[in-house]
Amino acid sequence: MDEFNLQVWAVDALSALAHETRLSVFRTLVRAGPEGMIAGAIAGHHGVPPSTMSHHLATLERAGLVQSERESRLIHYRADFPGMRRLLAFLMQDCCQGAPEMCADLIGELNCTAPQPLNA
């Protein structure tokens, strides 16, 4: 993807995340890991009607941040980790400006602890 198209994609991805429910859903799916969650469970977890949740999930999927897979009558959603990495890399690609120590502590600021149950 060339720089212009990458920037257009990044704007779409950030726009998808610029909604309280979608940001919360995306973070929930990131916490759920590769197993993801079924759409009904996501809607229930967030207290959002299923039809409204379908709209939010479709927006995240079009933005390249979520993947879906139909399993019989259920739709299983997962965070698109390569998409998330691509967005983070785009946002951070120019941060160091030749001084990598400027960004060296970024990973240390993440709270990468064992996953907590989503219903806790």
What is the radius of gyration, based on Cα positions, of the chain? 16
pLDDT of residue 118: 57
Of the candidates 63, 70, 105, 103, the one whose C-alpha atom is nearest the C-alpha of residue 84 is 63
Q: What ranges do the domains of the chain cover?
A: 3-109
100 DSSP 8-state letter: G
Question: pLDDT tens string for the chain (120 positions)?
Answer: 788 898 999 999 999 999 999 999 999 999 999 999 999 999 999 999 999 999 999 999 999 999 999 989 999 999 999 999 999 888 887 777 767 777 777 767 766 655 555 554
Give the class (CATH, top level) of 3-109: mainly alpha
Kindly write down the DSSP assignment for every residue of 30-59, as one continuous string. Answer: HHHGGG-EEHHHHHHHHT--HHHHHHHHHH
CA-closest candidate to residue 30, choices 49, 17, 11: 17
